[in-house]
Amino acid sequence: MPRFAANLTYLFTEVPMLDRPDWAARCGFDGVEVLFPYDQPMADWERALNGMPLALINTPPGDWANGDRGFAAVPGMELRFRDSLLRAAEYAARLGAARVHVMAGVAKGPQAEQCYVENLAWALAEAPDLSLTLEPLNPDDMPGYFLNDYDQAARIIDDLANARLGLQFDIWHAARLHGDAGLVWQDHQSRINHVQIAGFPARNEPGGGGFSLPDLCDAIDAHCPGVWISGEYRPAKGTAQGLGWLAALKSRGALIGG
């Protein structure tokens, strides 16, 4: 049965960030992820996690308020990218993060793709113990973001041909980009190394949208063992009150395992 992580940037916002890992553990999650852990020192995160597995972090995005969304595909920002990747690698190593999502940034065109591929190749060589993931993001939520197509991401991953580089499958973004998240999964499941789930068409508790979460769990067991499933969604009410989906999937896994 897959392991389930809580995205602490989206969930348990009722309490301060460093209190959220404990809440996630008490609510039945197996681990956590956080988009940008960099506002808190690593030592504080170590105490807050208290042994709770960290499934994923993102590379630092830069000045979010002024439009930065990472630097990996932004020509002329190679040094900023390298600094951000090394900072993410330091956090990942210290906190035991399983994956680092490389933020591509706002860019377009062939020069941006060349920059992206070269930066990813540098990252894989410079951080040989780091596993990386690429996530296409939809233009409504992330205007101008370079990586906005799963086929594009797959082509880049295949060209680089490194086992430490994979595809981050997010039901919300896959459905917004391509209409049918199930078809995206079928086309790219062999490349997927991290999964995020949310409800569709609203980005609330997971479920609906024609995508079967039990089938997803079965497919991960069969084709992507060890891949985390993370809840990255906006709770309709309080986080803890909306975790019926987690209880149902975990109880189903317990029955199958038994």
Q: Is 232 a catalytic residue?
A: yes
For 196, the 3-state DSSP assignment is strand
* Helix segments in 75-233, DSSP class H: 78-95, 110-126, 150-160, 171-178, 181-188, 213-223
Q: Is 205 a catalytic residue?
A: no
Q: Please check whether residue 229 is in contact with residue 2, taking contact to mean a CB–CB distance below 8 angstroms.
A: yes
Give the pairing of strands 3-7 and 31-33: parallel
Which of the residues 33, 113, 135, 205 is marked catalytic?
Answer: 135
In order of 1, 189, 215, the CA distances from 256 in angstroms are 9, 22, 13
Which of the residues 33, 113, 205, 232 is marked catalytic?
Answer: 232
Query: Both tokens of residue 149?
Result: 């197509």
Give me the torsion for CA of 193, 98, 20, 252, rounded to 10°.
50
- Residues serving a catalytic function are 135, 232
